[in-house]
């Protein structure tokens, strides 16, 4: 009998340990005094030459991964990191396969945020980079006090947060599996922290956080989203199309999940990325969440500078560009240029002429790396859309040309 009770207790205890614990709210509460100065955000957008995002523009976010390891198992592989980037690009663009699990009543508000993520290809000095930094640390674990963000305390210093999303991968204390700074936080702390075995979909990962949704959830916070229940009983996240719910949901509830706070028979939107359900049960952002996220990139928004970030631009690497460390983002591309996004791309590749570059009338072609012509079209406006559905995943070359000049850029289809 004692043996049976022991195993029952062990099963219950294991279930508790397997529940999601985001440290973002605790972090906000403990760090308010350092996140704000005189009640004003420390991180401010540089509004010089700023613009609003184009309608449905794919906004590219260069990512720097700081891997801090005390043991070999914590030094996660490149494959594990790349698998996480693929999840982010799927989740933030509503091309994740499990969207089929979104209940029909919520599918009508499920949204693609049109945000893409790449491992940084260019550092702040214009040098080529993999976007991955590996560093041994003597610290066996970190708390949510941001020590992992400073080399002086066993971590690794951040890259310019107006140009890069910094993600620190490390061993977190207790059961916390991730936390994020707010969009208007202190510049040397800005970014996301993830438990090393809750990152990606392959390699050293633990169930039920093995689908990459911890990073999706925490980057949602980095982009201004609150927990869907507003961190209050029957609370609100301030977004109209996410129903109020009594509290967080764990594990994998069955639809509909009703509570005393449910506004109707549809119940909780527990499959939202900003709830606490298991990775396999999360599958959507809402239109309201999308609108809030994209508002951060507006002219006066705290993430506006990413519209001018060059970190995903492999063509600058190829040209050997050299940029001083104090160069502001808005000064990087003042000459006429071509912008392609997203990169990596999945269904479509957008091509824009920027800073006076005249794309209209030019021929746009896609080649394999062996030089085989695969797609060609003539630009009829100063922007063009390239349908990539016929291409297999891989590396390709895009050529823009007229009778006088041409430009070649690389992109990845995933």
Residues carrying an active site annotation: 218
Which tokens is 64 given?
Answer: 């720097």
| Residue 393 to residues 199, 200, 388, 396, 399, Cα–Cα distance (Å) | 23, 19, 10, 9, 18
How far is Cα 87 from Cα 323, in angstroms, rounded to an integer? 31
Pair type for strands 394-401 and 406-413: antiparallel
CA gap 42, 38 in Å, rounded: 9
**How crowded is residue 149: how many other Cβ atoms within 10 Å of its Cβ?**
23
Q: Are 216 and 210 within 8 A, CB to CB?
A: no
Rounded Cα–Cα distance for residues 378 and 376 (Å): 7
HSE on the CB side for 202, CA within 13 Å?
10
Partners of 5 in the beta sheet?
none
Contact 309, 288 (CB under 8 A): no
Tokens at residue 34, please? 């350092």
Quote the distance between the C-alpha of residue 231 and its chain's center: 22
Sequence length of the chain is: 414
Closest CA to 60 of 114, 124, 132, 117: 117
């Amino acid at each position: 009998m004692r043996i049976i009770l022991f195993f029952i207790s062990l099963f219950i205890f294991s279930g508790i340990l397997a529940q999601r614990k985001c440290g973002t709210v605790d972090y906000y509460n403990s760090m308010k005094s350092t996140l704000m100065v005189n009640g004003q955000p420390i991180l401010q957008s540089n509004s010089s030459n700023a613009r609003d995002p184009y309608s449905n523009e794919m906004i590219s976010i260069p990512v720097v991964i700081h891997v801090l390891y005390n043991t070999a198992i914590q030094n996660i592989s490149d494959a594990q990191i790349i698998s996480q980037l693929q999840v982010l690009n799927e989740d933030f663009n509503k091309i994740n396969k499990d969207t089929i699990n979104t209940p029909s009543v919520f599918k009508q508000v499920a949204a693609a945020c049109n945000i893409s993520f790449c491992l940084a290809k260019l550092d702040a000095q214009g040098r080529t980079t993999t976007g991955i930094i590996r560093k041994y640390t003597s610290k066996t674990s970190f708390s949510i006090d941001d020590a992992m963000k400073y080399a002086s305390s066993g971590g690794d210093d951040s890259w310019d947060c107006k140009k890069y999303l910094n993600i620190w991968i490390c061993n977190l204390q207790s059961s916390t599996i991730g936390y994020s700074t707010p969009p208007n936080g202190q510049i040397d702390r800005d970014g996301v922290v993830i438990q090393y075995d809750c990152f990606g979909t392959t390699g050293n990962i633990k169930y039920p956080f093995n689908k990459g949704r911890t990073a999706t959830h925490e980057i949602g916070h980095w982009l201004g989203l609150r927990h869907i229940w507003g961190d209050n009983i029957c609370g609100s996240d301030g977004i109209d199309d996410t129903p109020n719910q009594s509290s967080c949901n764990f594990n994998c509830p069955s639809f509909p999940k009703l509570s005393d706070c449910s506004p109707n028979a549809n119940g909780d939107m527990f499959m939202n990325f900003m709830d606490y359900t298991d990775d396999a049960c999360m599958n959507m952002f809402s239109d309201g969440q999308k609108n809030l996220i994209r508002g951060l990139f507006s002219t006066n928004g705290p993430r506006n500078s990413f519209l001018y970030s060059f970190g995903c631009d492999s063509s600058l690497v190829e040209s050997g560009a050299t940029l001083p460390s104090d160069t502001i983002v808005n000064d990087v591309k003042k000459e006429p240029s071509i912008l392609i996004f997203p990169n990596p791309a999945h269904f479509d590749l957008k091509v824009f002429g920027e800073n006076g570059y005249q794309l209209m009338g030019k021929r746009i072609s896609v080649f394999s790396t062996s030089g085989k012509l695969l797609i060609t079209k003539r630009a009829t406006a100063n922007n063009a859309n390239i349908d990539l559905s016929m291409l297999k995943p891989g590396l390709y070359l895009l050529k823009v040309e007229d009778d006088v000049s041409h430009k070649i850029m690389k992109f990845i289809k995933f």
